[in-house]
Structures are given as C-alpha cells and as structure tokens.
Amino acid sequence: MMNDQRVIILFVKYPQKGRVKTRLARTLGEEQAVSIYCQLVSRLVHLLRGVDVEEVRICFDPAEKARDVEAWIRPIWLEAGGKLIAEGNSADEPTLVFRSQCEGDLGERLKFAFNEVFEGNRDSENFESRVLAIGSDCIEIDNRTFRSAWESLVTKDVVFGPTLDGGYYLLGMSSLHRALFEDIPWSTETTLEVSLQQACESGLEVAVLDEKYDIDTEEDWRRAEAKFFLSDSGEGNETKPVAE
C-alpha cells in the first residue's frame, strides 16, 4: 500500500536590511521592511504548524545563516505549538526541517528544493510525495488553500496559486517537472503565463487555485494591515531577530 507524504516547502531569507522587502523599504524604510517581513514569516509558520502534513521544510538563504535562521524560526514554531495545545488541537505534528537554498535563480532554487524531497523517497517503494512550495509574500494563504492544492494533485500533475501581479504564490507537484523551472522570466508579470505555457507544451495537466495578492509595495501592505490588523512597527513580534 502506498503511503502519501505531504511536504510544504517555505522559502525564506534571513531578515537583513537591504535583502528583504526592498520595494517596501523604498517608502517605509529598511527597518520597517524587515519588521514587516518578520511578521509575514511568523504568520506563515504559525499557520504551517497546524496544517495536516508530514513535513514542513524551511528552505533558507543565505546558507551561512543556518544557525541564525533556526534560532529565528524554531521559537515561532514552538510558540505556535503551545497555542495549538491550549486550543485542544490534537492533530499529528509535522516534522520541521531546515535546508539551505542552492545558488542560482529562482528556478534553480525551486528545482533543487523539489528534487531534494523527491530524491529522498526515490529508493522507497512505500512513499509517494506531494509537495507544495510557497514564499513568504502572500498573507492570504490559509488551510483551505492547502486543502485545495492537495486535492488538485490527486488528479493533476501540477497546481499553481496565481498572484495579481502575474506570478504565483504556490507551486505543487507529485514528481519533478523540470520544464517548469527553465526559461521562465522570474519576478515579472508574465511568470505564470510562461509557466503555464511550459506545462502545456510538456503535456502536463494543470490546476489553478484562487488568485491572491503578494505584499510587495506599501499599497499592498496597507491593504493587508487593515484586513488582518497588522502593524508596521512589528509590535508583539518577540521572535524578530536583530539583523543589520
């Protein structure tokens, strides 16, 4: 009997000024941009702690910040676990794993991360992985998003979660499809369009989830701030690391 292993990969950058949320920093300043980034990551880690999956994999950059990333993320993970216990949630706990990103563009980094999961199960006849990769920019992701993605992968080869700016906030697959990582204009308004064309030309069956927005600009942040009662001061985010 085949066992289904569900893995969610969260791509993060260690929150240093000038390396995260650079478009936000242009209008809000680098310190606030880092604070906002930490809030976004914290919300996602809290969410992922309660998702019904076997593994949550934190793919971080840069590689030399491995200890700092774990010291940043793990307390958030533990805090989220305490909240689940307080709420009486007895769901099986996912395993938290840390892996550094490889060098190269986003396509190379995605391909490496997906392949690492699939290669890990290559010699096992009893596991079949369904893998979702997300970034830290989409605040609208929720449990329903993940459920829809898992369900889509039962009958489809690939699932995309589109963003309003022409990219995507989620990519899921049950086996590695290299064409989706090659010759893609990353971080442009045609990223998703070209990715869908590549999938079609490769004969892949595709599912597309609901469209959501990323937080890239101050306008995006102000909309999220009002909707989710956030603060650009980072108040209440005790797990924010000191990053210069």
Residue 236 lies in a domain: no
Residue type, 220: D
Residue 120 lies in a domain: yes
Condensed to tens digits (0 to 9), the pLDDT of residues 59-82 reads 999 999 999 999 999 999 999 986
Residue 239 lies in a domain: no
Residue type, 180: L
Condensed to tens digits (0 to 9), the pLDDT of residues 168-227 reads 999 999 999 999 999 999 999 999 999 999 999 999 999 999 999 999 999 999 988 888
Residue 238 lies in a domain: no
CA 121 vs CA 6, 115, 176: distances in Å: 12, 10, 12
- Taking each helix axis as running N to C, give the angle between helix 30-49 and helix 66-86, from 0 to 180 degrees, rounded to the nearest 10: 50
Is the overall model pTM greater than 0.75, yes or no? yes
Residue 240 lies in a domain: no
Residue 234 lies in a domain: no
So what's the pLDDT on residue 163? 96
Residue 235 lies in a domain: no
What CATH code is carried by the domain that includes residue 142?
3.90.550.10
- Counting the structural domains of the chain, the total is 1
Phi/psi region, residue 116 (left: phi>0; alpha: psi -120 to 50; beta: rest), is alpha
| Residue pair 11/101 in contact by the 8 Å Cβ criterion | yes
Is residue 167 over pLDDT 80?
Answer: yes
Query: Which structural domain range is residue 213 located in?
Result: 3-228
So what's the pLDDT on residue 153? 96
Residue 239 — very low, low, confident or very high, per pLDDT cuts 50/70/90? very low
Is residue 84 over pLDDT 80?
Answer: no
Residue 241 lies in a domain: no
| Residue pair 98/66 in contact by the 8 Å Cβ criterion | yes
Condensed to tens digits (0 to 9), the pLDDT of residues 141-157 reads 999 999 999 999 999 99
In 91-211, where does DSSP find H-type helix? 106-120, 143-155, 191-201
